[in-house]
Every structure is written in structure tokens, then in C-alpha cells.
Amino acid sequence: MKKNLIIGTRASKLALWQAHHVAALIEARHPEVKVTLKHIVTSGDKIQDVPLAKIGGKGLFTKELENAMLSGEIDLAVHSLKDMPVELPAGLQLAAITVRENAGDALVAPTYGTIDKLPKGAKVGTSSLRRRAQLKRYRPDLAICELRGNVDTRLKKLDTEDLDAIVLAVAGLSRLGWGDRITEVLSHEVCLPAVGQGALAIETRGGDREVLALLEFLNDVETRQAVTAERAFLRVVEGGCQVPVGVHATVMDETLALNAVILSIDGQEVVSDKVTGAVTDAAQLGQDLAQRMLKAGGAEILRKVMELA
């Protein structure tokens, strides 16, 4: 069995928390294995002044880590699953997906508390097209401001850039010990989460059997089933670009329920739908729901989104 593992990680506080968390779990389960971390800077870390939708989206935070894996420089990488493209490079695979934390979006609004109490025209920061569209759907009067940076940077910008509120993932804030900054967890009726939000993904080389065997215990079956449906949905609708789509699946008693929404950037055009079925059909359920929603008007909405992008 492999005695040394190298985890590649970005240097942000959240990425380091995630990498240290997985390293500790591995060493607790396999005391004979030594885990070390290697910091790798990604394109997404370097480019902080341009909206993600205009520079390539999710792959910006994974490409350099994946190249390091393929070259043998590192053995695995730990990602927020929501940051991962649905298509992985040849030779890599998702070895494990951890138990999902709260998948929701958090409002941080120290003065006003909730989205309903924000004043007309309030300035809300987010870098996500998905959040932007859903916030504008619920509150068309809000002024949505571009907000890039790591979690701690975004929290600082709440104070320094004259924002009334920002929206971040609940899981990220909780993992960093900043759950007390959350003033409201947005309901899924207001803001449906991103694909995979709240789950950690461990990516490895596909043929590395020793590493795959070491990591198998980290895989949570129900979370994997849920995100399989979500990622299958996104694979059909995404087209390789960041799109304003919310998707969330839950699993109970071998039944999977999947909810999704496709929106225009201003939130005024919406197609929403849901499906339930056997967990064994997770991928097919995601594909079927996506195709149905595209035919119901989602394709035209996304065509306009692509033109604007």
C-alpha cells in the first residue's frame, strides 16, 4: 500500500481547510500513511478583476491541479464540487464525494438581516450568474454587484465596498468557522443551489488503484447519487460556459427528487421543473429533466444568455 500521499491544493483559507480536513481523515483511517500538502496557484486565483462568466468559469480553479496530477507531481486534489466542470480530463476521475454539508446559499447582511428586509435598490455582492439571476427574480429592485475573491476577501469587501449584503455558500462559511456571519439561509424557493454545492470532491488519477483504495472510505453513497443527477442535468444544459442554472437533488428511501431552474440573467424569464425516480436512475433522471426543460423554453433562455456572455 502507498505510504505517502501528496494533496494538491489552492492556497485560499477554504481550500486549505478542505485539504487539511481530508488529510486528517485519511491519516486517522490509515495511520501508516503520511499525507503532505503542495500549494498550487490556479488561473482563477490569479485573475480576480474579471467576472468568471467572461473568463471561462469553473475550470479556472482546477486545471493546474489536474495537470499536476497527470504529471505525477501530486496524488490527489480536494475541490468544492460546485467548482468542478462536469467533464474531467482523460485519465482523471472522482475517487470520492464526501457527505454533503448544507447545500444552501447564505445572505450576509449585518444591518438588515434578511433578503425581505433589504431596502429598495440595496447593493448585493456576488460573482455567480446563478445567484444574480435568482436574486433578481425574487427582488428585481436589487442592485447586484460583481464580487470576486476568496471567502475572507468577500467578507472584507462587504465593509469596504459599501455593500448592503453579500451571498456566499453556507458550507464555506461554516467550514471556516464564520457561520455566525450568516444572517439568513436563503430558501430554495428564493435561490436554488449550484450543482454539487456543499460536497467535497476528491479527484485522482483513474488508474492509480492504491490511491483509489485508500480513498474509498470517504465516499458517501447518497451524496454521490444526488450529485450524479445534478451533474448529469448540467452536462446537458451547460455547453461549457457558466450559466444561470440552479439544481438540487435529495435522496430518501432509494428515491431521488431533483429540482431545477433555468433563468435569464435578469431573472425575468424562468423555466422550473422537478422529477422523482429511483436512485439507480440518477444520471438518466438528470438528463431527462434537462431535456424537458430545454424544450419548455430553457434552450431559448440559454441562447440569449450565451449571446450576452
> Active-site residue 83, yes or no?
yes
Which listed residue (45, 49, 75, 83) is catalytic?
Answer: 83
Cell numbers given for 22: 481530508
What is the rounded CA–CA span in Å between residue 220 and residue 237? 26
Cell numbers given for 180: 455566525
DSSP string, 106-151: EEE-TTT-SGGGSPTT-EEEE--HHHHHHHHHH-TT-EEEE--S-H
What is the rounded CA–CA span in Å between residue 225 and residue 177? 28
- Give the full edge-to-edge strand order of the sheet including 34-39: 34-39, 4-9, 76-80, 200-205, 92-97
Instruction: Say if residues 195 and 235 touch (Cβ distance below 8 Å).
Output: no
Active-site positions?
83
